[in-house]
Amino acid sequence: MSDDKKLMVTKIGKTKADLKANPSSLQRTMSFDDAIKEALHSPVTVTKTTPTQKTNKKYNARLYWPDIINTPENKWTFSCVEIIDKLDKNEQRATEEKKNMEKCLMYFYTMKKKLNLFDHTYTAASILFYRFWYFYGLPTSMINCIHVSQAILVTACKTMENNRPIDAYIKATCEYINQVIYGNRNGGNIDKLKWEVRDKLVNYEQRILTHFGFDINIENPKEIVEDIFSGFYRYNRDYDLPTDVKEALPKILVEVRSFIIQAVTQPVSLLCDGYSFLALAMLYCGIQYKKVVNDDFKYPKDFFKERFPVKVTAEKFEAYFTDYRLLEQSFFDLKSNKGDKLQINKVDIESIIEESSDNEESIDDPYSYNKIKSGQVQQDLLDHIEERVNEYINRITTGKKQAHSDDGTSSQTASTTTSPFRNQEPKAKKMKV
C-alpha cells in the first residue's frame, strides 16, 4: 500500500474514533470550497462561533448540501459607447456587418409570421441575437449568419414555451435562404439544402447554449408587460386608479406593446434590462398620449415604484432616451425609427410622473411570492374567473352535443368548421370519409 493510501486510511480511522468520542463534532458545517481544500490536504479556515450564534443557529440545507454548479450571474447590459464600439472600425466592413444583422432580424420576423409564433418569442430571439453579436460577433458569410439565427430562434422558442417541430423550422428556413440569399435560383437543390440546414441547426444550437453559459433566463419586456398588467393585478391592485388613468391605460398599453416590438430591432436590449425597457416604453407612450390626446394626463403618484423593481427617475431615463437615439443613428435606418421623437428631456418625463424619492439604492421585488401569497383577492376577480370558466364549459358542452347528435349531420358540420380545409374537398370524398 502506498504512503498516500496509508495516510488516508489512518485519517479515516482517526475521524471515526473522534466522532465516537465527541458526537457533537457532527454539528460543524463546512463549505464546498473548504471540503475540496480538506480533500486536497490544504489548510481549512474554521470560523469560530459565539454562544449567541450557536443558540440562534438553524439547519440550512445549503450548508450541508452546497451547490456544485453555481447559478450564472452575467452582465447583459452595457453603455451606449460600448455597444457602438462593437461595430467594425472600418466603415465598409461595418456597413456589411449591419446589412447581415438586418437580414437576421428580418429572418426572425419572417419566421414569426410563417410559424405563427408569439410576439414575445420574436422579442426573445432579438434579445438573444444581440447578446450573441456583442460577445462573439457574426460570421462573415450571410448563410452562416442565418444558421446562427435559426439556432437562436429555436432556443428562444424553447425558452418561451412556444416550440415547433424541427421540420417546420427547417422548411421555413430553407425557403428564406432560397429566396433572400439565392434569389429563388436554388429550387432544384432544396432537398440537399434541407439536410444541410438540419445538420447546422443541431451543431449551432449546442454552440449557442454553451456560448451563453446556459444563461437564457431573459427579462423579456413583452412578456413582463403582460404579467404586470394581467387580470390578477388589474382586479386586485389597479382597481383604485383614477378614472382618467383607467380610461387611458389600455390605449397606452397597446402603444407600449408596439413600441417594444419595434424598439427591440435596435440593440436597446443591450442598453437596459427588461423592466427598464418596459418603463422606457411606458414613459415614451405616456408623453405621446399627453401631446396628442390629453394634455392633463399624468401617471398616479408612485405608479412605477409600486409596479417595477427598478428606480424610475427623470435623469436616468433622459439618458436612456439620448442613448436610444444614438443607437438608431449608428445602426439601422428603419421605418419604425422614432428619430426626433426621442428628444425627450427631464422636464418632459417629470410632467407625467410623480415618484417619491428615497435614498435606498435597491427596491424590493413587488412580484415576490412572499408578498403575493398573503394578498387579498377582490370579488371582481373571482367573478371574472367564474365567467371565463362558464364560457369554456358552455363551449365544450355545445361541441359535445353537436358531435353526439342522433342523425350525425351536426357531427359532420362540427368537423368541417374545425378543419377549414375539408370544406374544399370534393363531395364524393367527403361522403367516402
pLDDT per residue as tens digits for the range 324-357: 999 999 999 888 899 899 999 999 999 999 888 7
- Cβ distance 344 to 279 under 8 Å? no
Q: Which of 52-56, 242-246, 314-318, 379-383 has the highest mean pLDDT?
A: 314-318
CA-nearest of 262, 341, 319 to 79 is 319
Answer yes or no: is pLDDT of 129 > 70.
yes
What does the DSSP 8-state code read for residue 26?
G
Residue 60 above 50 pLDDT? yes
Q: Cβ distance 245 to 290 under 8 Å? A: no
Read out DSSP for 88-151? -SSHHHHHHHHHHHHHHHHHHHHHHHHTT--HHHHHHHHHHHHHHHHHH---SSHHHHHHHHHH
Q: Output the CA torsion 355→359→362→365 (10° steps).
A: -40
Cα–Cα distance, 229 to 238 (Å, whole number): 8
Q: Are 220 and 123 in contact (CB under 8 A)?
A: yes
- At position 347, the amino acid (one-letter code) is V
Which DSSP string do the residues of 219-236 spell out, in sequence order? --HHHHHHHHTSHHHHHH
What percent of the chain is modeled with pLDDT above 70?
A: 70
Structure confidence by residue, pLDDT tens digits, 381-423: 788 888 889 888 988 888 766 766 655 544 444 333 333 333 3
The single residue listed with the C-alpha cell 479556515 is 45
Cα distances from 294 to residues 65, 243, 245, 290, 336, in angstroms, run 58, 13, 11, 5, 24
Q: Is residue 269 within 8 Å of 126, Cβ to Cβ? A: yes
pLDDT score at 180: 85
Domain map (residue ranges) of the chain: 101-211, 221-367
* Of the listed ranges 60-69, 109-118, 164-173, 372-381, the one predicted with least confidence: 60-69
Grid cell, residue 407, equals 342523425
Q: What is the mean pLDDT of residues 184-193?
A: 70
Residue 418, pLDDT score = 36
Q: How confident is the model at residue 115 (pLDDT cuts 50, 70, 90)?
A: very high
pLDDT for the residue 241? 83
CB 332: neighbour CB atoms within 10 A?
Answer: 17
The yes or no reply on domain 101-211 and CATH 3.40.50.280 is no
- Contact status, residue 152 vs residue 125, Cβ threshold 8 Å: yes
d(CA 9, CA 106): 65
Whose CA is closest to 159, among 72, 229, 219? 219
Contact status, residue 277 vs residue 268, Cβ threshold 8 Å: yes
Instruction: Tell me which residue has cell 417629470.
Output: 350
Q: How far apart are CA 72 and CA 321, in angstroms?
A: 30
Residue 128 banded pLDDT, cuts 50, 70, 90: very high
Rounded to an integer, what distance in angstroms lies between the CA atom of residue 354 and that of residue 367? 22
Share above pLDDT 90 across residues of the chain, in percent, rounded to a whole number: 37
- Given a cut of 80, whether residue 74 has pLDDT beyond it is no
C-alpha cell at 232: 390578477
- pLDDT of residue 140 exceeding 50, the answer is yes
- For the cut 60, the answer to whether the pLDDT of residue 307 exceeds it is yes
Minimum mean pLDDT range among 62-71, 86-95, 176-185: 62-71
The phi and psi torsions of 136 (rounded to 5 degrees) equal -125, -5
Residue 320 neighbours by CB distance under 10 Å: 22
